Amino acid sequence: MFISARRLRDLGILGMNKRNVEYINRFNPRRLYPLVDNKLRTKLIAQKAGLPVPDLLHVVSAQYEIESIEPSLRELSEFVIKPAQGSGGKGILVILDQDDDGYTKSSGVKIGLLDVKRHLTNIISGLHSLGGRTDVAIIEALVRVNPLFEHISHEGVPDIRLIVFKGYPIMGMLRLATKASDGKANLHQGAIGVGLDIGSGRSLAAVQHDRRITHHPDTGVPLTDITVPYWTVLLRLAARCYEVTQLGYLGCDIVIDEHRGPLLLELNARPGLSIQIANDQGLLPRLNQIESIDEFAPSLDARVEYAMRHFAQYDPQQTTQPGGPKSRSARGEAST
Amino acid sequence: MTQRGPFLFSVALLFIAGAGTAWFRHVDLGIPLLPGAQQLVWQVEAQVEFSADGTVQAFLTLPPKQSGFRIVSESHPSPGYGFAVDRSGRQPRAHWTKRTALGNQMLFYKLDLVQDPDYEVAAEAPARVVPVPFDEPYRTAASQVLTALLPITADARSLAQQIILKINTVPLDQNMNLLLDRYRAQRLLSRLLMVAGIPARTVKVLPLEDGRRRQSLTDFLQVWHEGRWLLFDPNTGLVSNTDNLLLWQTDTPSVLEVIGGTRSRVTFSMISQTRSTMGLATGQEASSFSLYSLPIAEQGMFKLILLLPVGALVVVIMRLLVGIRTSGTFMPILIALTFLQTELVPGIISLVLVVSVGLMLRSYLSAMNLLLVARIATIVVIVIGIVSVFAVISYRLGLIAGQTITFFPMIILAWTIERMSILWEEEGPREVLIQGGGSLLVAVLAYVLMNQATVAHLAFNFPELHLCLLAAIMVIGRYTGYRLLELHRFGALDDNARGRREDVH
């Protein structure tokens, strides 16, 4: 199952070393990292910039606040508790309902107030943060799955990862949790990545464990003809993150709420490389293309429009695009 | 980001500086590029410590001329002290003097020896034996021991051999028991032999082992046999291989004598080098700023420290070029260093044992909800517990290898267990195996490289070669190509692309 380095280069695949040296080191200044590594700071700066995010309900940063948390939890029927510095979906507790008996988790299991408190204690003592640093717990509003997605995902809310380079959204994928990934949306834990066409938000291909699949292994839903709603809004939201954070090479995780539409969930200064497998496309040609643009501070509209025009792949009528699209459209027609 | 040109220039400069200096030193000072056993040079350092209060004189017995070792040079870096070698007695003694000395004093005596099996020193025949008679009831016991042994022995050698055997046979017979109650074994041995009319003496010997620090002298027995002294270990008998045993004291009442000081003691550090004798002579002056000018104890440390960059290079290659994931960036180097002391197979076995038992116990800790620092501290205690239990068990089972388990860095082990356990909870056992196996693989590779005599020789004798290593690491640090394992990771793309081509045709 090896591929030659030459073929990989021909496909324009970005490798880990090149990503680190030529993109992260060059475009992401170290001092900006805390902004994205801490979800609370991301949320606050996003709110200041007017970007839609799941509502922040409470912040718990000290043990004494946990002791008196109950009255404030009482007012909420559903909420999510997450560590500000957790990564990879660690330490996220989703409460769907509460009554006198206790709190109902997303899995349907009921837990008591004591369990919630212990979870908060674990978070602030740094159980889920990198290197065990003390952390704060964020309590935020629950994101309601958009009905369009409801039947696809096994558990949890599907999110959309967009790679934004110098403010241009250049590649995207939809991440679906599976049984294997334990409800988490991390590709290396077994979640499904569905490559998305930047031009239209339509699905291109799907992978799990770095291998091609066509149907969701748990729900059996075909993954070939998904179209992500609010696509342009989503791209604009991701592209704006560049101005807000000043990070040149950025991964934006966006969820679509039933009522509020696209919401920024978190940002990543070291986005992974699997998105290339999900898209069956290397990042390098697009990165090079963006770098060669010689324009001073292009507007948000210009950037999104540029990306949608140049990186569109899904177009059954058009067969003359260089690279992969021609063959893909043939494949797309065959499978639909 | 620096431009490519200047970067490559500085890297090339580093490389040339390193390789050039090494070559120059090789040619000019005659330091061999490859380790050679024929010219093994031992540097031995005696460190005398005492606390002084006023006028001080210290006498340190110096090793006599002896077969097998040629003394090349000696030095005595002890500032503030007058120094002379007193050769009036049967054995030379170093003599330090100072009018007023207060507090803790430290004196050094350094000796360079060439190990040369062909070097012979004619042994001085001992004076006529004047046995010191035993008192009663020991006299009877001694004569009974000898009467029992004399008929079954032929000469001095076999008699000495038999007495040693007898002393070390458990249970002791009644006579030996009585004698050993009164006399120390070494002392008793020589006295018994003298009573039998055989010249024998207790000597102090320094076992030479590379890189050892703070060693003390060991008591041995010498027996005069057919015109030369034979060396006996009071526990095991005749010593056939005396190559690494340096005779230190034979004819003086004590090794160290301090007048005007208290709490005196002497310890020895040693290190072996493979320098040519010519280089040794000239290099001594030329290298006043080199590692050789450090005290021997520190040199021994540096022999190990200078191997670390080699391990670092292995880690850099395996992580950046191959793409192996390890638990903790440089943890494998520390493990490799430990393997150097424990030998590979016992090292791997004990490491895997400690970590897996630690992981098992750690899973119980998860349920207790401890804070991080307390959790790590708990694991440290647990690791020490496991190590002690293993050491005892392996000793009971007669496995010497189990003893070396103590060489593992406990804190590093604790962190490894903690990290692995978190990994287990978050990513599952597969990831633990991948990262654990990766760490072990990198550690073993680093060990294999660091264990090469040539590598160790070059790292210590040509420290400037580390500049070349640095250059290599820096070049790899700018490598932006694919990692070997990425070729596998992105392997799916090849199939897809191929499938796509077939679709089109």
Name the residue facing B372 among A8, A11, A126 (closest C-beta): A126
A173 and A288, same domain (yes or no): yes
CATH class belonging to B38-118+256-278: mainly beta
pLDDT at residue number A247: 93
- A17 contacts B500? CB cut-off 8 A: no
Residue A71's domain spans which residues?
Answer: 55-140
Q: Tell whether A135 and A161 lie within a shared domain.
A: no
Distance between CA atoms of residues A23 and B421, nearest Å: 33
Terminal CA-CA length for chain B: 46
What's at A90, amino acid-wise?
K
Q: Which residues pair with A94 in a beta bridge?
A: A80
What's the pLDDT at B394? 79
pLDDT in tens, chain A (336 residues): 688 888 888 889 999 999 998 999 999 999 998 888 889 999 999 999 999 999 999 999 888 888 888 888 888 888 999 999 887 677 888 888 888 888 888 778 888 888 888 889 888 887 777 666 788 999 999 888 888 787 787 777 888 999 999 999 999 999 988 887 777 777 877 889 999 999 999 998 888 887 888 888 888 888 888 889 999 999 999 999 999 999 999 999 999 998 899 999 999 999 988 899 889 889 999 999 999 988 887 899 999 999 999 998 865 554 444 444 434 433 333 333
Which one is predicted more confidently, B152 or B308?
B308
Determine the Cα–Cα distance for residues A19 and B33; give it in Å rounded to an integer. 40
Residues B492, A327: C-beta atoms closer than 8 Å: no
Share of chain B above pLDDT 70, in %: 90
Same-domain status, A311 and A180: yes
Choose from B316, B489, B498, B500 for mutation: most chain A CBs within 10 A: B489
Put the strands of the sheet holding B237-238 in their side by side order.
B237-238, B228-233, B218-225, B200-207, B245-249
State whether A172 and A108 are in the same domain: no
Is B386:B357 a contact under the CB 8 Å cutoff?
yes
The stretch B373-378 carries a mean pLDDT of: 84
The pLDDT of residue A325:
40
pLDDT tens digits for A20-76? 989 999 999 999 988 888 899 999 999 999 999 999 999 998 888 888 888 888 888
How many residues does the structure list for chain B? Answer: 505
Structure tokens, A276: 């290339």
Report d(CA B470, CA B456) in Å as an integer: 17
Q: Which residue, A108, A140, A172, sits at the end of a domain?
A: A140
- Rounded to a whole number of angstroms, the distance from the CA of A128 to the nearest CA of chain B is 9
Indicate the SS3 state at residue B505. coil
| CATH classification at residue A230 | 3.30.470.20
Nearest CA to CA, how far is A126 from chain B (Å)?
A: 7
A125 compared with B358, residue with greater pLDDT: B358
What CATH number has the domain bearing residue A99? Answer: 3.30.1490
Say whether both A96 and A188 belong to one domain: no
Output the pLDDT for position A162.
95
Domain match, A210 and A327 both = yes
Question: Which positions ≥6 away from B494 have C-beta within 8 Å?
Answer: A3, A7
Q: Does any CB of chain B come closer than 8 Å to the CB of residue A3? A: yes
State whether A112 and A165 are in the same domain: no
Compute chain B's Rg from CA coordinates. Answer: 30
Residues A127 and A190 in one domain: no
CB–CB contact A324 B493 (8 Å):
no
Judged by average pLDDT, the poorest of A294-308, B130-144, B254-268, B340-354 is B130-144
List of residues 6+ apart from A56 with CB closer than 8 A: A40, A43, A44, A47, A138, A139, A140
This prediction has a pTM of 0.70
Contact of B65 with B21, CB cutoff 8 Å: no
Rounded (5°) CA angle A15-A16-A19: 85
> Residues A136, A155: one domain?
no
Q: Are A175 and A160 in contact (CB under 8 A)?
A: yes
**What is the mean predicted confidence (pLDDT) over B16-22?**
91
Nearest chain B Cα distance for residue A328, angstroms:
7
- Written as six digits, the tokens of A110 are 């009921």
- The answer on A31 and A59 residing in a single domain is no
Contact by Cβ (8 Å): B443, B335: yes
Q: Is residue A41 part of a domain?
A: no
Q: Is A328 within the bounds of a domain?
A: yes
Most confident of A101-110, A225-234, B250-259, B427-436: A225-234
Domain boundary among A140, A173, A193: A140
Q: Which pLDDT does position B144 carry in this prediction? A: 82
Beta-carbon count within 10 A of B459 CB: 23
What ranges do the domains of chain B cover? 38-118+256-278, 138-249, 304-489
Asked if residue A49 belongs to a domain, the reply is no
- Do both A16 and A108 map to the same domain? no
Contact B481 A4 (CB under 8 A): no
- Residue A143, classed as helix, strand or coil, is coil
Beta bridge partners of B498: none
Whether residue A23 is contained in a domain is answered as yes
Nearest residue in chain B measured CA to CA from A119: B369
Lowest average pLDDT, out of B185-194, B348-357, B458-467, goes to B185-194
Residue labelled with tokens 């010249």: B199
Q: Inter-chain contact B486–A207, Cβ cutoff 8 Å?
A: no
Please give the tally of structural domains in chain A: 2
Q: Do A136 and A158 share a domain, yes or no?
A: no
Look over chain B and give the mean of its residue pLDDT values, rounded to a whole number. Answer: 81
Please identify, among A140, A175, A203, the residue that sits at the C-terminal boundary of a domain: A140
Q: Are B223 and B156 in contact (CB under 8 A)?
A: yes
Range among A22-26, B117-121, B165-169 rated most confident: A22-26
Residues of B with CB under 8 A from a CB of A: 1, 320, 323, 369, 371-372, 426-427, 478-483, 486-497, 500-501, 503-504
Given this model, what pLDDT does residue B30 score? 67
Q: Is A117 on the interface with B (CB under 8 A)?
A: no
